[in-house]
Amino acid sequence: MLQFAELEQGQVQLTAIGKDFAATTILPIKKRFRQQVLQHSSGISSIVQTLRERRSYSLQTGFFLNLWENQSPRLGAKQQFTTAVDWGCYVELFEYDSREERLLLTDGRGCLEG
């Protein structure tokens, strides 16, 4: 999905981006992963855009999950959403508050002020 590898004749082959990703240290990896996520995951891009439009830069996760379940109920929306949250948090696009079940947009160094 993120263009790090391709399947050729039953074999997984790293793309040039994948090879670069595998050969770098954690900070460049996170930067590259962030670029790929924003470029190839419309779901994560949608989450970020929606959070940007909110005055508080945050929303309950239920808002997004309900939206995803309504758009693609047969595609495992909950699992896809969980993966999107994991990836978005890993690359510091947003944070997840498990107590409040809320996503909060970040600037990569901490929470944005509302």
Domain locations in the chain as residue ranges: 1-40, 42-114
pLDDT at 107 over 60: yes
pLDDT tier at 111 (50, 70, 90 boundaries)? very low
pLDDT tens, residue by residue, 8-63: 888 999 999 888 888 878 777 888 889 999 999 989 999 999 999 999 999 999 99
The predicted structure's pLDDT at residue 60: 95
User: Domain 42-114 falls in which CATH fold?
Assistant: Arc Repressor Mutant, subunit A (1.10.10)
Task: Catalogue the long-range contacts made by 108-114 (C-beta closer than 8 Å, 24 or more residues apart).
Answer: 111/57, 112/57, 114/55, 114/56, 114/57, 114/58
pTM value is: 0.72
The pLDDT, as a whole number, for residue 108 is 54
